[in-house]
């Protein structure tokens, strides 16, 4: 990859857009935030890049695809499928998200029934053509699609992953007619008709939106635009699997970017955790962490037991997305989550957010009571130090918003604020339990890595509720998702359904893997990666199951893949059957193009006198109102120890320590907090 003057990671959040800038020549790493611009997210991006003259390599995480899917604001799309299968999107599976809710409505299909069109073709489960496709049927649909204002067409035919020629013919005709086309054999050549069709339709629905956004952004960043001839940029897009892709690929594969921002956070969290937690004598020691990313709009959590966990069975807004995605659980609880009283008189927090506009009441543009306002009323984030003093905080507006909320509950403003914090913490605690306890993991075996602008005020208390003994908070915590994007490799995932017996010879498997490997190498070579110089790694895996099972487990491909499957099944379900016949369902290849992450400076121990960082004592509300010391994090040095209760302030985040908690500053300037467990009383 070319050496640039700047390497920039950008994460657009619901409230702030985060920037991490690395200058390779000097080794300097800087971070900053700007308010997001929901009406045009690119405005905040361009404003943040305005001062960076010279060559820029940018990795950009975006909520564009996520918001378009959740808000049903994607491109007008159609679906062409095998006759008899137009309603597969409507029928779905038997699973119900609310088992006992007889009135629950499934999400509306992304394609109206009138635009789900059928063709007379049929391929058998063996990949044989039973009914050949008549191309004139496709030609006859083109005027209808144009008349209906269709922009994008998904093509998902029965068993096309075995015989893609019919889809290729349809896609070719539609592309020549000017439509964006998402063909299932290109997006997800794997079995399970509903999930394959759902993923393909989602890609058709999202890609034109991503294409327009990226095209406009690239134009604005191009040399000569608005007279900025000295600037040029190389732009990459963060995808949901924890790697980046070129803009060319992102523009036609928008579905791969649905959780790109949170994915960057997990990558960044694991990077800083490995540096902080691995012993120098054993750099390959596995690191077990739970990531806790609390931003302005939502909280995202993930579990890494040695490495990042991905899933190919994600569900976004009720729509199955069956491409590899980092296993992240999201709840609508963030600093901007709105507190309200429902019709039954109960206090609720979220999932609605005040976002960047109008934002929490303390920002001065609205009157909505939020989690941030609750923390302000309790005195925890010091108003005059908020965002380094760059954002004026109106404490009186927070008190007014909490007073109004409290009146509806017959309590005062501070009691209302404590209630808001308690409920927000309950939501986030549940999310942490979902990805740990409910999946068979003991949280006590993990370190909680807290990041996001709002995370430091809640992380230690949440760790205490789950009996987690240690919390790690990086100096980059408020912008860790953007940092993770700079640390991410280029990653491409490929899958092919094969349905082979578990005793298939390795030579046969190697032959079946070869096309996927060739595709991965070619795609990375097209982006400038060289295998000879060691820039490319290829990871092979098998999706396997016992005969008769409905779902698979993925295991690395090796000579011992059968033993690995039995072991994985034992770990996942508590039993294995080494005498039972096994099936190989899918082959998977992950092609990785390695990018050099920005280095993090390791400092020597300081003078072990944290008093140098003491700013003042202020009264805050913990269990009771009491004076606590406020420390400036930037003035701390490695080796310093801070005993709670205390507040540690950074320009872009605030960290709360309670009684008996103790924070240690390591050589990377991370705060490692030893958490006092809950007392039995």
Is 70 exceeded by the pLDDT of residue 232? no
d(CA 201, CA 193): 12
Residue 249 lies in a domain: no
Regarding whether 102 and 169 lie in a shared domain, the answer is: yes
Regarding whether 102 and 158 lie in a shared domain, the answer is: yes
Residue 432 lies in a domain: no
For residue range 545-570, list pLDDT tens digits in order. 999 998 899 999 999 999 999 999 99
d(CA 385, CA 438): 39
pLDDT confidence bin for 104, thresholds 50/70/90: confident
Ordered strands of the 490-501 beta sheet: 28-35, 16-23, 6-12, 55-61, 232-238, 244-246, 490-501, 582-593, 536-546, 553-556
Regarding whether 156 and 108 lie in a shared domain, the answer is: yes
Q: Are 316 and 298 in contact (CB under 8 A)?
A: no
Residue 394 lies in a domain: yes
Give strand pairing partners of 314: 321
Cα-to-chain-centroid distance, residue 227? 35
Regarding whether 130 and 192 lie in a shared domain, the answer is: yes
Is 60 exceeded by the pLDDT of residue 507? yes
pLDDT for the residue numbered 514? 97
Residue 253 to residues 96, 201, 379, 405, Cα–Cα distance (Å):
28, 11, 46, 44
d(CA 611, CA 605): 15
d(CA 303, CA 468): 13
Question: 534 or 82: which carries more pLDDT confidence?
Answer: 82
For the ranges 203-207, 507-511, 550-554, 676-680, the lowest mean pLDDT is seen at 676-680
Regarding whether 396 and 352 lie in a shared domain, the answer is: yes
Q: Are 670 and 473 in contact (CB under 8 A)?
A: yes
User: What CATH number has the domain bearing residue 498?
Assistant: 3.30.1490
For residue range 105-120, list pLDDT tens digits in order. 788 899 999 999 999 9
pLDDT confidence bin for 586, thresholds 50/70/90: very high
pLDDT for the residue numbered 331? 87
d(CA 475, CA 481): 13
d(CA 444, CA 284): 21
pLDDT for the residue numbered 95? 74
For residue range 171-221, list pLDDT tens digits in order. 999 999 999 999 999 999 999 999 999 999 999 999 999 999 999 999 888
Regarding whether 634 and 566 lie in a shared domain, the answer is: no
- Which of 372, 393, 425 lies at the terminal end of a domain, its last residue? 425
- Which of 174, 204, 234 lies at the terminal end of a domain, its last residue? 204
Question: CA dihedral in degrees (665, 671, 674, 680; nearest 10)?
Answer: 140
For residue range 301-310, list pLDDT tens digits in order. 999 999 999 9
| Dmax (CA) of the chain | 81
Regarding whether 189 and 128 lie in a shared domain, the answer is: yes
pLDDT confidence bin for 54, thresholds 50/70/90: confident
Quote the number of domains for the chain: 4
pLDDT confidence bin for 532, thresholds 50/70/90: confident
Regarding whether 76 and 198 lie in a shared domain, the answer is: yes
Most confident of the following: 160-174, 252-266, 387-401? 160-174
d(CA 335, CA 361): 11
Residue 26 lies in a domain: no
For residue range 127-145, list pLDDT tens digits in order. 999 999 999 999 999 999 9
Q: Are 291 and 302 in contact (CB under 8 A)?
A: yes
pLDDT for the residue numbered 318? 85
Residue 323 lies in a domain: no
Is 70 exceeded by the pLDDT of residue 165? yes
Residue 441 lies in a domain: no
Is 70 exceeded by the pLDDT of residue 260? yes
- Which of 543, 568, 593 lies at the terminal end of a domain, its last residue? 593
Is 80 exceeded by the pLDDT of residue 284? no
Regarding whether 631 and 587 lie in a shared domain, the answer is: no
Residue 277 lies in a domain: no
pLDDT for the residue numbered 229? 43
Domain encompassing residue 376: 337-425
The full DSSP string for 416-439 is HHHHHHHHHHHHHHHHHHHTTGGG
For residue range 378-409, list pLDDT tens digits in order. 998 877 776 666 678 889 999 999 999 999 99
Regarding whether 570 and 512 lie in a shared domain, the answer is: yes
pLDDT for the residue numbered 392? 80
Regarding whether 189 and 139 lie in a shared domain, the answer is: yes
Residue 187 lies in a domain: yes
d(CA 139, CA 174): 8
pLDDT for the residue numbered 205? 96
Regarding whether 197 and 76 lie in a shared domain, the answer is: yes
């Amino acid at each position: 990859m070319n050496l640039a003057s700047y390497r920039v990671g950008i994460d657009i959040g619901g409230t702030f857009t985060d920037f991490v800038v690395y200058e390779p020549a000097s080794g300097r790493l800087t971070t900053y935030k700007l308010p997001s611009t929901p009406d045009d997210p690119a405005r905040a991006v361009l404003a943040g890049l305005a001062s960076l003259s010279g060559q820029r390599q940018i990795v950009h995480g975006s909520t564009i695809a996520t918001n378009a899917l959740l808000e049903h604001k994607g491109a007008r799309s159609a679906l062409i499928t095998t006759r008899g299968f137009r309603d597969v999107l409507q029928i779905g599976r038997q699973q119900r998200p609310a088992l006992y809710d007889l009135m629950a409505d499934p999400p509306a299909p992304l394609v109206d029934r009138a635009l789900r069109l059928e063709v007379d073709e049929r391929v058998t489960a063996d990949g044989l053509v039973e009914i050949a496709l008549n191309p004139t049927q496709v030609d006859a649909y083109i005027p209808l699609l144009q008349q209906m204002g269709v922009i994008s067409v998904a093509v998902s035919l029965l068993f096309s992953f075995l015989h893609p020629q019919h889809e290729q013919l349809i896609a070719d005709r539609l592309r020549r007619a000017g439509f964006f086309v998402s063909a299932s054999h290109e997006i997800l050549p794997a079995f399970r008709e509903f999930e394959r069709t759902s993923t393909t339709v989602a890609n058709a629905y999202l890609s034109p939106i991503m294409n327009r956004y990226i095209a406009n952004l690239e134009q604005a960043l191009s040399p000569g635009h608005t007279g900025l001839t000295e600037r040029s940029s190389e732009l990459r897009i963060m995808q949901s699997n924890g790697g980046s892709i070129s803009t060319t690929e992102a523009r036609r594969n928008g579905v791969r970017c649905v959780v790109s921002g949170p994915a960057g956070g997990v990558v960044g969290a694991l990077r800083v955790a490995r540096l902080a937690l691995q012993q120098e004598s054993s750099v390959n020691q596995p690191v077990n962490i739970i990531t806790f990313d609390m931003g302005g709009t939502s909280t995202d959590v993930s579990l890494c037991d040695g490495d990042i966990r991905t899933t190919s069975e994600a569900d976004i807004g009720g729509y199955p997305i069956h491409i590899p995605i980092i296993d992240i659980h999201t709840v609508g609880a963030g600093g901007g989550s709105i507190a309200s009283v429902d019709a039954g008189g109960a206090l609720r927090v979220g999932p609605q957010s005040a976002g960047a506009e109008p934002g929490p009441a303390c920002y001065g543009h609205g009157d909505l009571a939020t989690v941030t306002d609750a923390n302000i009323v309790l005195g925890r984030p010091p108003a005059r130090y908020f965002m380094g003093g760059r954002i004026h905080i109106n404490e009186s507006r927070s008190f007014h918003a909490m007073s109004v909320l409290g009146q509806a509950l017959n309590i005062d403003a501070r009691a209302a604020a404590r209630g808001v914090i308690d409920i927000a913490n309950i939501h986030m605690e549940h999310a942490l339990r979902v990805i740990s306890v409910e999946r068979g993991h003991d949280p006590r075996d993990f370190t909680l890595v807290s990041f996001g602008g709002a995370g430091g005020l809640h992380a230690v208390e949440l760790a205490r509720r789950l009996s987690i003994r240690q919390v790690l908070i990086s100096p980059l915590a408020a912008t860790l998702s953007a940092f993770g994007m700079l640390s991410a490799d280029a990653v491409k995932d490929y899958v092919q359904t094969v349905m082979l017996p578990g005793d298939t010879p390795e030579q046969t498997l190697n032959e079946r893997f070869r096309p996927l490997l060739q595709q991965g190498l070619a795609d990375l070579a097209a982006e400038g990666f060289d295998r000879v110089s060691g820039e490319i790694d290829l990871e092979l895996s098998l999706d396997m199951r016992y005969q008769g099972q409905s779902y698979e487990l993925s295991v690395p491909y090796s000579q011992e893949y059968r033993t690995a499957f039995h072991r994985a099944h034992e770990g996942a379900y508590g039993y294995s059957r080494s005498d039972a016949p096994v099936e190989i369902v899918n082959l998977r290849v992950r092609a990785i193009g390695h990018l050099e992450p920005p280095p993090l400076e390791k400092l020597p121990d300081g003078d072990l006198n944290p008093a140098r960082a003491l700013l003042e004592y202020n009264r805050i509300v913990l269990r009771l109102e009491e004076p606590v010391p406020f420390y400036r994090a930037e003035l701390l040095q490695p080796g310093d120890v801070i005993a709670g209760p205390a507040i540690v302030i950074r320009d872009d985040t605030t960290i709360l320590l309670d009684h008996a908690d103790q924070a240690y500053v390591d050589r990377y300037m991370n705060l490692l907090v030893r958490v006092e467990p809950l007392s039995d009383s």
